[in-house]
Amino acid sequence: MKIGASTFIWVSPFSNDTFHLFSKVKKMGFDILEICVENPQTIDPVLIRQASLAEGVEVLICGAFGMDRDISADDEATRLNGINYIKCCIDIAAEVGSPLVSGPMYSATGKTRLLDPIAKKKQISLAVANMRIVADYADQVGISLAVEPLNRYETDFINTVDQGLDFFDQIGKDNVGFLIDTFHMNIEEKSIGEAIRRADKKVFNFHACANDRGTPGVDHLNWIEIKCALEQIGYDRYMVIESFTTEITEIARAVSQWRPLASSADMLASEGIKFLKKTFI
Partner 1 sequence: MFKYSFDTLVYGDEPVRKSIERLAKFGYDAVELVGEAEKYSIPEVRSACADNGIVVSSLCSIFDAERDMVHPDPKVRQNTLDYVQKTLEFGAEVGASVVIVRPSPCMKTAPLADAVTEHAWAVENMRKSAEMAAKLNLKIVIECWNRYEAYMLNRLDQALALAKEVNMPNCGVMGDTFHMCLEELDLAAAFRSCGEMLYHVHLADSNRAAPGIAHLDFVPILKALKDINYQGYLSFEILPAAADPFAVLSNGGATEFLDPYTKFGIDHMKKCEKLI
Chain residues binding partner 1 by CB under 8 A are 112, 114, 152-154, 156, 159, 186-192, 210-212, 214, 218-220, 222, 253, 256-259
Smaller CB distance to partner 1: residue 41 or 113? 113
Calpha distance 66→93 (Å, rounded)? 19
Closest distance to partner 1 from the beta carbon of 218 (Å): 6
Smaller CB separation from partner 1, 55 or 156: 156
SS3 of 124, please? helix
Length of the chain: 281
Amino acid type, 113: R
Question: What's the CA gap between 55 and 42, in Å, rounded?
Answer: 20
Toward partner 1, which CB reaches closer, 125 or 246?
246
H helix or E strand, kind and range, residue 177: strand 176-181
User: CB 210 → partner 1: shortest distance, Å?
Assistant: 7
Q: How far is the CB of 67 from partner 1 (least distance, A)?
A: 15
Q: Which one-letter DSSP state was computed for residue 263? A: S
User: What is the rounded end-to-end Cα distance, in angstroms, of the chain?
Assistant: 7
- Nearer Cβ to partner 1 (34/188): 188
User: Of 107 and 186, which has the nearer Cβ to partner 1?
Assistant: 186
Torsion of Cα atoms, 93 then 8 then 238 then 1, to 10°: 130
Least distance (Å) from partner 1 to the CB of residue 131? 23
Smallest distance from partner 1 to CB 216, Å? 11
